[in-house]
Structure 1
Amino acid sequence: MIILDDVWEIDLWEQLKHALPDDKNGSRVLMTSRFMNIAKSADSKMTPYELAFLNEKKSLDLFLKKALPYQEPDEECPSDLLELADKLSKKCKGLPLALIVLGGIISTRDKTFQDWKRVSDTLDWHEEGKDCMQVLAMSYEDTPYYLKACFLYLASFPEDYMISARSLISMWVAEGIIPRREKRTMEDTAEVCLEQLVQRSLVQVSSRHANGSIKYCRVHDLLRDLAMHEGIKENFVSVFPKPQDCVNHLDRATRRASLQSNCAEFIEYVSLTARSLFLFGQGIPMYSEFKLLRILEIVGVREIKLRGLDRLIHLKYLGISICFWLEFSNDCYLYRLKNLETLNLRGTYLVNGDIPMGLWTTGTLRHVICEAVPVCAPPPNVDLTNLQTLKFIRVADTRKTRLPCVKNLRKLGLDHRRATNWDGVVHLLGTLPYLLSIALRTTHYIPMEIVYPTMVPNYQNLQSLSLCGRWSEGVTLEAGLFPPHLIKLSLNDSELRQDPMLQLGKLKNLRKLKLYAKVYIGGMEMICPAGFPVLENMFIELAGIASFTVKQGVMPKLKHFQNDNFRTILNMPPELEHFSKAVFG
Structure 2
Amino acid sequence: MAEAVTSVLVKLADILREKVGEVQAVRGQIEQVQKELRLIQALLRDVDSKCHRNNVVTEWLNQVSEIANRIATVIDTFRDKIEENRAESSNWVRKITKAVKRNYKKYKLGLHDELENIIEELNRLYQRRTDLRIEDLGAIDDVDDPEACDDVDDPEVVGLEDDQAKIIEQLKDRSISRRMVLSIVGTGGLGKTTLAQKVYNSDKLEGQFDCHAWLSISQTYNLNELLKEILYKVKPDMKKKVPPVTDRDLPVKLKKYFLKGKRYLIILDDVWDINLWGQLKKALPDMYNASRVIITTRSLDVAKVADCNTKPYKLRYLSDNEGLALLFINAFQQQVQPEKYPAHLLDVAKRLTKRCGGLPLALIVLGGILTRRERTYPDWNTLYETIDWHDKDGIQCSQILASSYEDLPRYLKDCFLYFSAFPEDYKISGVHITRMWMAEGFVPKDGAGTIEYRAEKCLEELVQRCLIQVTKKSWNGYCKYCSIHDLLRDLAICKAKDENFLTVFSKEDDVNNLAASESCRAALQFCTPTEDGIYSENTNSLLCFGFGQFSSDNSGFGLLNYSGSGLLQVLTLERVDMTTFTRRHWSKGLIHLRYLGLRDCFVPHDIFKQFSFPNLETIDLYGSEVDNEEERLNLCDVVIPTLRHVYANSYSEIHLPLEWDKHTNLQTIMDVAIYIKSVVELGFCINLRKFGIIIVDKLDNGRAIKEWQNLKSVLKNTVQLVYLSITTKGFLPFGGTKELPCHEKIQKLNLDGKWERNICVPSVEMFPTNLTKLQLIRSGLQEDPMPILERLQSLRILHLNDGSYVGTVLICSTGGFPNLEKLKLYDLDNLHHWDIKEGAMPILRHLEIHCCFLLHVLPELQKVQTLQELTVVGPSRELWEGMQMQGKDVHKIKHIPSVRISKGYVPQGEDFR
> TM-score if structure 2 supplies the norm length?
0.60
Query: In structure 1, what residue type is equivalent to 2:400?
Result: V
Is the partner of 2:276 in helix, strand or coil?
helix
Q: CA offset at residue 33 of structure 1?
A: 1.8
Contact 1:306 1:326 in 2 (8 A): no
Deviations 1:259-314 (A, max 9, x none): 10124249966632101011112211233542211111001336645525633222
Q: CA offset at residue 393 of structure 1?
A: 3.0
Deviations 1:32-64 (A, max 9, x none): 222222223333321122222222222111111
CA RMSD of aligned residues (A): 2.9
Residue in structure 2 matched with residue 521 of structure 1 by the alignment: 806
Deviations 1:177-235 (A, max 9, x none): 11112442111111101011111111111111121111111111111100000000000
* Alignment match of 1:465 (pick from 721, 724, 749): 749
Summarize the Cα distance change of 1:313–1:123 in structure 2 as closer, same or farther, 3 Å threshold: same
Summarize the Cα distance change of 1:202–1:541 in structure 2 as closer, same or farther, 3 Å threshold: same
Residue in structure 2 matched with residue 413 of structure 1 by the alignment: 692
Q: CA offset at residue 98 of structure 1?
A: 0.7
Contact 1:564 1:583 in 2 (8 A): no
* Alignment match of 1:441 (pick from 685, 705, 727): 727
Query: In structure 2, what residue type is equivalent to 1:107?
Result: T
Q: 1:79-158 residue pairs with structure 2 within 5 A?
A: 79-129=343-393, 130-158=395-423
* Alignment match of 1:191 (pick from 443, 456, 465): 456
Query: In structure 1, what residue type is equivalent to 2:786?
Result: M
Contact 1:162 1:217 in 2 (8 A): yes
Runs of 5+ consecutive residues of structure 1 not aligned to the other structure:
none
Residue in structure 2 matched with residue 576 of structure 1 by the alignment: 867
Residue in structure 2 matched with residue 326 of structure 1 by the alignment: 603
Distance 2:270 2:521 in 1: 28
Distance 2:289 2:756 in 1: 48
Distance 2:546 2:532 in 1: 13
Contact 1:257 1:270 in 2 (8 A): no
Is the partner of 1:442 in helix, strand or coil?
strand
Distance 2:847 2:783 in 1: 22
Runs of 5+ consecutive residues of structure 2 not aligned to the other structure:
1-211, 214-266, 548-555, 871-892, 894-898, 905-913
Contact 1:470 1:493 in 2 (8 A): yes
Summarize the Cα distance change of 1:358–1:124 in structure 2 as closer, same or farther, 3 Å threshold: same
Contact 1:306 1:327 in 2 (8 A): no
Once the two structures are aligned, what percentage of the paired residues are identical?
Answer: 37
Deviations 1:411-435 (A, max 9, x none): 1111124124324323322332321
Residue in structure 1 matched with residue 628 of structure 2 by the alignment: 352
Q: Which has the higher contact order (CA 8 A, sep 6+)?
A: 2
Deviations 1:110-158 (A, max 9, x none): 2222222222222223333321111101100111111000011110110
Deviates more, 1:72-81 or 1:228-237: 72-81
Deviations 1:489-531 (A, max 9, x none): 1111112222333432322222222222112210065656543
Is the partner of 2:366 in helix, strand or coil?
helix
Larger radius of gyration: 2
**Does 1:432 find its partner at 2:712?**
no
Summarize the Cα distance change of 1:561–1:83 in structure 2 as closer, same or farther, 3 Å threshold: farther
The alignment of Structure 1 onto Structure 2 pairs a total of residues equal to 581
Distance 1:528 1:263 in 2: 59
**Does 1:394 find its partner at 2:673?**
yes
Is the partner of 1:110 in helix, strand or coil?
coil
Contact 2:847 2:869 in 1 (8 A): no
Q: CA offset at residue 396 of structure 1?
A: 2.9
Question: As a proportion of its length, which structure holds more helix?
Answer: 2
Contact 1:68 1:107 in 2 (8 A): yes
Is the partner of 2:591 in helix, strand or coil?
coil
Query: In structure 2, what residue type is equivalent to 1:292?
Result: L
Residue in structure 1 matched with residue 848 of structure 2 by the alignment: 562
Contact 1:263 1:280 in 2 (8 A): no
Contact 1:360 1:382 in 2 (8 A): no
Deviates more, 1:575-584 or 1:197-206: 575-584
Contact 2:534 2:561 in 1 (8 A): no
Q: 1:537-548 residue pairs with structure 2 within 5 A?
A: 537-544=822-829, 545-546=831-832, 548=834
Residue in structure 1 matched with residue 648 of structure 2 by the alignment: 370
Contact 2:439 2:617 in 1 (8 A): yes
Residue in structure 1 matched with residue 206 of structure 2 by the alignment: none
* Alignment match of 1:276 (pick from 531, 541, 546): 541
Deviations 1:5-52 (A, max 9, x none): 112223332232222223355653332222222223333321122222
Residue in structure 1 matched with residue 276 of structure 2 by the alignment: 12
Summarize the Cα distance change of 1:578–1:179 in structure 2 as closer, same or farther, 3 Å threshold: closer
Is the partner of 1:363 in helix, strand or coil?
coil
Query: In structure 1, what residue type is equivalent to 2:804?
Result: V
Query: In structure 1, what residue type is equivalent to 2:357?
Result: K
* Alignment match of 1:293 (pick from 542, 562, 568): 568
Contact 1:305 1:329 in 2 (8 A): no
Distance 2:594 2:539 in 1: 14
